[in-house]
A and B are shown apart, each in its own frame.
With several copies, the nearest count.
Chain A
Amino acid sequence: MGEKTVATYFKDFKIKDHSLGMAFVVLFVIAAFVGWPNFLRIRNLTNILRQISYTGIIGLGMTMVIISGGIDLSVGSMCAFVGGISIYFLNLFGPESILGIALTILFSLVLGMVCGALNGIMVAKFKMAPFIVTLGTMSIFRSLIQYFSNAGNILSENTLYGRIGSGVFLRLPIPVWCFFAVGILLHVVLNHTAFGRYICATGSNEQVAKYSAINVKLVKMIPYIITGLTVGVTALMWSSRLNCINPSDCTGYEMDAIAAAVIGGTLMSGGKGSIIGTMMGAVMLGIINNMLVMGGISAFLQQAVKGLVIIVAVLLQYNNNGK
C-alpha cells in the first residue's frame, strides 16, 4: 500500500476498472455533439437532472433490493398509491397549513416504508419469490388507488404544497437535491456500515450469511423498506410538483429504476452493486433520452435506440469484467 504518486496512479489505471465512468464520459461527449449547442446549456443539464430524479431516487432504493438478491416491481404503483393517499391526508388540513405539509412529508415517508415492509415481509418471512410478490403488489397498489380515487385525479387543496416539488434551491430543483441526498446517504449505508455489508453477503449467498450470524430475514426485509422510503420521497416530489396525483401515474417507474441500477453495474443476481453507479446510470438514461429528443430521431425508433443503448452499456461492462 503506502502513498501513491500521481504517476503510479496513472500506471495502475485500468480502463476496465472504470468502464462505467468511461462510458459516462463518452456518452456525455456524444450528447454534447449531437445536441450542440443546447445540450450544454445549464438549463438543459438541470432539466435532465430533474427529469431523472424521480425514477433515480427510487433506483437508489432498488439498488439495495437488487444487491440483497431481490427485485421490486411494485415501485411505480406504490408511488402513485403513496402520492395519492398523501394528498388525501394533506387535504385534511387547511389550504395553507404549513403543519399539514410537514405532517404530510412525514406521513408520505412512513407510508412508503409501510408499503415496502409489506413486500419485505412476504419476501423475507414467507420466503416467496420477490418477482412474484412485487408483481402481485404492483397490481394491488394500483388497483387500490384507482378504487379510492374512482380513477380520477386526486387534487391537493393546499396552495403551498406545490412549492416543494417545483421549488429550486441554489439553482438546482429540489427533487435533484433529494436525489443527491438520498444517494449519499445510501452510499454510506452500503459501503460504510455493517448493514451494507450484510446486504451484499446475503445477496451473494444467503446460507453463508446465515452461518456468519447475520439475521438474514431482517437483512432481506430492510432493503424493501428503504425502497419504500425512496418511493415516499419520489411520491412527495412528484405529487407536490403537480399538486395532484392521477392513479395511473408513475407507470413503468420500475423499469427505469432497474435499468439505472443495472447500467450502473449492479448485478441482477445480487451480491454486488454500487449506489454511485446507479446515480450515473440514471443520469446516463437521462442523457440518452435528451439526445434522442434533441437529435430528432424518429419518435418510433427512440425506444429502440434506448433499448439498444442499455444492452450495449451492459455488454461493455460484462466484457470488461472479464467474464
Chain B
Amino acid sequence: AGAAETKNAIPKIGIAVPSPDHGWTGGVGWWAEKAVKDFEAKYPGKYEFKVLHADGYAKQLSDVEDLMVWGMDYLVILPHESAPLTPVVKEAHDSGVKVIVVDRGLTDTSFGYINLAGNNKEMGKVSGIYVRDYMKKNNLTKYVAMGGMPVVIDGERMNAFFDEMGKDASLVNLAGGRAYDFSDWSTQKGLELMENYLQKYPEIHAVFCQDDDVMTGVLQAIKESGRKDIKLVFGGAGSKAAYEMIMHDDPLVKATATYHPSMVYDAIAYCLDVAEGKKSSDFNTAKAPTAVVLPSVLVDKSNVSQFYDKDSVF
C-alpha cells in the first residue's frame, strides 16, 4: 500500500487516553481497545499498537514521552486537559510524529494535526433547544442544570445551553442566572446533587445534567423521593442505558444529545487510513490543524435504533 512514509519498518501507533474515571472515559478506553483489536485483525502484523491510559494529565504527559521513546510514528490522543498536554504533543509533532487529537483539543493551533471531535457547542445548543421547547410545550418553567467538570468543553456546553434557555424569559434556572454545580460526570455525585436539589427546591420541572451517567443518579434520587413535579431529565453523550430508556418510553427521559466515546474509534480509523495512504498525510505539514467535526445529534424515540449498540460498555 502507498502508506505515508514512517521511521519504522512496522509503523507504530501510540494511543493515549484518560483512564476510566467515569462512564464516558470508560467508554473511550473500551472503544480504543476495540479499534486496536479490529485493526490488528484487519492488518495482521502490519502495525504495532500501544494504548496508554492516564489517570491525570501529568501521567499522560509522561505517557506521551514514553511513546516517543518507544518510537511511535502516529499519535492518537484524547488529552486529559488541553493546555498542559499541548507542549508535549507539539514536541512529538516536531519530532515527526503524525498527530490526531480527539475530543478535548489543544491550545496551540499553529501546527498541523487532525482535530477530531464532537461538537460541544452544538451539543449544548441541541440540548438547550430540546429542553426549552419541551418545557414550553408542557407549560413547565422551573429547571436546574449540572455541569461536568470545570474544563473547557464543559463551559462550551453549558454556555450554549444557557444561551438557548435564555431565549425564553419564562424559564427560570432555580439556582439563579447561569449558576450550576459540578457532577464530576459521575453517577454518585449526580445522585447526591439531585438529592440536595430536591430538598432545596420544592418544585422542579426539568433537570439538565449533560451526561447520561449522571442522569442515572439523578433519576434514582427522583424515584426515591417519590416526587412527581419533575417531568424531564436530559442527559447527554448517548449511553446504552439512556438509549434503552428512550426506546422503552421512560416517563422522564425522552431524548439525549450524542457525544459518543466511540469517536476515539473513528480517530484510530482515520489514522489507519492515513497510514494506508487512503487519506492524505499533508495535515502534518500544515500550518494549522485540520478539523474533523462529528456532529452532535438529538436522539429520540424516532432515531434511537440507529445509535444503539448492545455490546458497548457505555
| Closest residue on chain B to residue A296 by CB atoms | B50
Report which of A43, A47, A151, A252 forms a contact with B29, defined as CB distance below 8 A. A151
Among listed B134-142, B193-201, B288-296, interface-contacting one: B193-201
Most chain A beta-carbon contacts within 10 A, residue among B51, B55, B83, B217 = B83
Cβ contact within 8 Å between B30 and A47: no
Cβ contact within 8 Å between B150 and A247: yes
**Does chain B have a CB within 8 A of A289?**
yes
Most chain B beta-carbon contacts within 10 A, residue among A50, A155, A246 = A246
Report which of A146, A244, A250, A302 forms a contact with B58, defined as CB distance below 8 A. A250
Q: Which of A237-254 contact B (CB under 8 A)?
A: 241-242, 244, 246-252
**Does chain B have a CB within 8 A of A18?**
no
Cβ contact within 8 Å between B65 and A47: yes
Cβ contact within 8 Å between B58 and A289: no
Report which of A43, A150, A166 forms a contact with B223, defined as CB distance below 8 A. A166
Q: Which of B201-253 contact A (CB under 8 A)?
A: 213, 216-217, 220, 223-225, 241
How far, in whole Å, are A250 and B187 apart by their CA atoms in the complex? 10
A-contact 0/1 string along B60-87, CB 8 Å cutoff: 0011011011110000000001011001
Residues of B contacting A250 in the complex (Cβ-Cβ under 8 angstroms): 58, 188
Report which of B19, B23, B188, B217 forms a contact with A153, defined as CB distance below 8 A. B23
Cβ contact within 8 Å between B26 and A151: yes
Report which of B27, B150, B187 forms a contact with A146, defined as CB distance below 8 A. B150
Residues of B contacting A299 in the complex (Cβ-Cβ under 8 angstroms): 19, 29, 51-53, 181-182
A123 CB, nearest partner CB in chain B, Å: 26
Q: Give the number of residues in A that approach B within 8 Å (Cβ atoms).
A: 37
A-contact 0/1 string along B179-195, CB 8 Å cutoff: 00110001110011001
B148 CB, nearest partner CB in chain A, Å: 11
A79 CB, nearest partner CB in chain B, Å: 11
How far, in whole Å, are A166 and B88 apart by their CA atoms in the complex? 10
Residues of B contacting A244 in the complex (Cβ-Cβ under 8 angstroms): 83-84, 216
How far, in whole Å, are A293 and B189 apart by their CA atoms in the complex? 13
How far, in whole Å, are A236 and B225 apart by their CA atoms in the complex? 21
**Does chain A have a CB within 8 A of B313?**
yes
Report which of B30, B63, B216 forms a contact with A293, defined as CB distance below 8 A. B63
Residues of A contacting B186 in the complex (Cβ-Cβ under 8 angstroms): 246, 248-249
Residues of B contacting A320 in the complex (Cβ-Cβ under 8 angstroms): none
Cβ contact within 8 Å between A246 and B84: yes
Report which of A38, A54, A149, A303 forms a contact with B199, defined as CB distance below 8 A. A38
Cβ contact within 8 Å between A152 and B199: no
**Does chain B have a CB within 8 A of A134?**
no
How far, in whole Å, are A16 and B13 apart by their CA atoms in the complex? 44
Q: Which range contains the number of B residues in contact with the other chain?
A: 35 or more
**Does chain B have a CB within 8 A of A290?**
yes
| Closest residue on chain B to residue A241 by CB atoms | B220
| Closest residue on chain A to residue B195 by CB atoms | A47
Interface of B is mostly: helix
**Does chain B have a CB within 8 A of A51?**
yes
How far, in whole Å, are A246 and B149 apart by their CA atoms in the complex? 12
A-contact 0/1 string along B1-35, CB 8 Å cutoff: 00000000000000000011111011101100100
**Does chain A have a CB within 8 A of B277?**
no
Residues of B contacting A247 in the complex (Cβ-Cβ under 8 angstroms): 20, 26, 150
Report which of A149, A155, A290 forms a contact with B83, defined as CB distance below 8 A. A155
Residues of A contacting B57 in the complex (Cβ-Cβ under 8 angstroms): 246, 249
Cβ contact within 8 Å between B150 and A242: no
Cβ contact within 8 Å between B56 and A252: yes
Residues of B contacting A44 in the complex (Cβ-Cβ under 8 angstroms): 66, 69, 199
With A44-B199, A244-B216, A246-B84: A51-B65 Cβ-Cβ less than 8 Å: yes
Q: Which of A275-294 contact B (CB under 8 A)?
A: 289-290, 293-294
With A44-B69, A51-B65, A293-B66: A248-B150 Cβ-Cβ less than 8 Å: yes
Residues of A contacting B52 in the complex (Cβ-Cβ under 8 angstroms): 293, 299
| Closest residue on chain A to residue B180 by CB atoms | A299
Residues of B contacting A289 in the complex (Cβ-Cβ under 8 angstroms): 62
Residues of B contacting A152 in the complex (Cβ-Cβ under 8 angstroms): 23, 26-27, 30, 150, 152, 155, 312-314
How far, in whole Å, are A293 and B149 apart by their CA atoms in the complex? 18
Cβ contact within 8 Å between A242 and B62: no
**Does chain B have a CB within 8 A of A300?**
yes
With A51-B192, A250-B58: A242-B187 Cβ-Cβ less than 8 Å: yes
Report which of A149, A249, A294, A302 forms a contact with B200, defined as CB distance below 8 A. A294
With A44-B69, A294-B66, A296-B50: A249-B83 Cβ-Cβ less than 8 Å: no
Residues of A contacting B181 in the complex (Cβ-Cβ under 8 angstroms): 299
Cβ contact within 8 Å between B69 and A43: yes
Residues of A contacting B188 in the complex (Cβ-Cβ under 8 angstroms): 249-250
How far, in whole Å, are A152 and B107 apart by their CA atoms in the complex? 13
Cβ contact within 8 Å between B200 and A293: yes
Residues of B contacting A41 in the complex (Cβ-Cβ under 8 angstroms): 69, 199
Most chain B beta-carbon contacts within 10 A, residue among A51, A149, A250, A302 = A51
Cβ contact within 8 Å between B199 and A43: yes
A74 CB, nearest partner CB in chain B, Å: 17
Q: Give 14 A-B pairs besides A41-B69, A151-B30, A289-B62 with Cβ atoms closer than 8 angstroms.
A: A38-B69, A38-B71, A38-B200, A43-B225, A51-B192, A54-B58, A149-B313, A150-B29, A150-B313, A152-B26, A155-B83, A241-B220, A246-B26, A249-B188
- Can you list 11 pairs linking A and B with CB atoms under 8 Å apart? A44-B199, A149-B313, A152-B26, A152-B314, A153-B26, A153-B313, A246-B186, A246-B187, A247-B150, A293-B70, A300-B53
Interface residues of A (CB under 8 A from B): 38, 41, 43-44, 47, 50-51, 54, 146, 149-153, 155, 162, 166, 173, 241-242, 244, 246-252, 289-290, 293-294, 296, 299-300, 302-303
